[in-house]
Each structure stands twice: as C-alpha cells, then as structure tokens.
Amino acid sequence: MSKILVVDDEANIRRVVREYAEFEGYEVKEAGDGMEAVEITKNEDFDVIIMDVMMPKLDGFSTCKEIKKTKSIPVIMLSARGEEYDKLFGFELGIDDYVVKPFSPKELMARIKAVIKRSSAPSPAAQDKVKFEGLEIDIAGREVYVDGQRASMTPKEYDLLFFLVKNKGLALTRDKLLEEVWGYDFFGDDRTVDTHIKMLRNSLGPYRKFIVTLRGMGYKFEENQN
C-alpha cells in the first residue's frame, strides 16, 4: 500500500484529500504545517507528499527544501497562486508536480498515481554517452556536461532532455512530452512543459539552440542548429 503525507494548514483540504486517497487505497498521514511535516519525515518514509505552499511557521517551498536534504520523496505542491515564477521556483527545488487551487480531487488522485508510478519505475538500461559539440550527455549516469562543466539540473530537466535526445529529430507535441516524461496526458498542462523547457534551455547555455520550438505544436531536439 502506497503511503501519502498531506501537509496543509487547512483542515478541510486535508480531509478532502484523505477521503479520496483512502478510497483509492492509499495510507494517509496528515501534518498541519511545514515544521510538523519535517519532523514526521525524519522518522517515516512516504511514496509522495502533497503539500500546500502558503503555510504558517514554514512555507511549502522551505519545507520541501528541508525534507529533500535527507529524503528523496516526490512532492506535489498545492497553491492558490498559479504564476509561472511560483511554478518555476518549485520545479527548481525538485518538486514533481504543481496543482493550483481550487483543484479537482479526482485530478489530484490521477496526478498522485502518475507520480508514484514514475518514481517506482526501474532505471533505464545503460546506454552509451552522446555528444553534440560541447554538450555531453550520459543517460545511464544521469550526467550532463556543458563545455566540460557538469550542469546542475532538476530531475525533471534530466528526464526531459534524455527523452528529447532519444527522439532526436522527431517532432514531439506537448501532449506527447507530458505523457512520456510526466506520465500522464489528459491531466497535463502545456505550461508545465514550456516552463521546464525554459529551465532546460537555461541549463544548457549555448547549446539551448539544439532544442527547437515547433510553434503551435511542441519541441524537438535538432543537432544541426547554428
């Protein structure tokens, strides 16, 4: 049975998430604030954490940062604010998904299922390293080097880059990227892909040129770009 930690200062939100999650067969534990969540995760492991951003004592972003110092538990953020910079900041911290309030409990359950499925998936088989000019990519080792310097990227940036490289030259719609990289399609948001592409391009520096925007459709990794 998968175990979920729900962190929110609103008791009604915790109650709704608990009811739906338990109906889906998950074991649920609650925390009313970030400090409590940090203490709980010191002694217990979870398959995913559902966490509100705006909380007293310790906000969701700071809580996520503290937890990830010692545990690699997937995190889905809940927030009444849907601005791109909030999502960008969350993804840079390594969260797995971002859900804007008010949300559909059924959609949240689908996202939880997708995150747990992704995190429990076996690692890809070892593959040779590939190089495109000064961009070196080691898929099996999950390492990327830009002009000899190791790039620091979020887990989702790695996943996105590796999928683009594996499908080099192919036009990939946003829906396809959501389905293959995030593990869901219908519940996806085009802006999630666009935000991560923006982050990935920043991480690749001069080799951002290899990620080509297909206006109105999606993206592709194209080697011969000047």
What CA–CA distance (Å, rounded) separates 76 from 55? 15
What CA–CA distance (Å, rounded) separates 223 from 37? 45
Tokens (6 digits) for 6? 């729900």
The whole model's pTM is what? 0.65
Instruction: Find the radius of gyration of the CA atoms of the chain.
Output: 18
What CA–CA distance (Å, rounded) separates 202 from 119? 25
Evaluate whether 2 touches 14 at the Cβ level (below 8 Å). Answer: no
pLDDT for 82-140, tens place per residue?
Answer: 677 777 788 888 888 888 888 899 999 998 988 888 776 655 544 568 999 999 999 88
pLDDT for 127-177, tens place per residue?
Answer: 568 999 999 999 888 899 999 999 999 888 999 999 999 899 999 998 888
Q: Please name each of the domains of the chain with its CATH number.
A: 3-119 (3.40.50.2300), 130-221 (1.10.10.10)
By C-alpha distance, which of 121, 118, 139 is closest to 129? 139
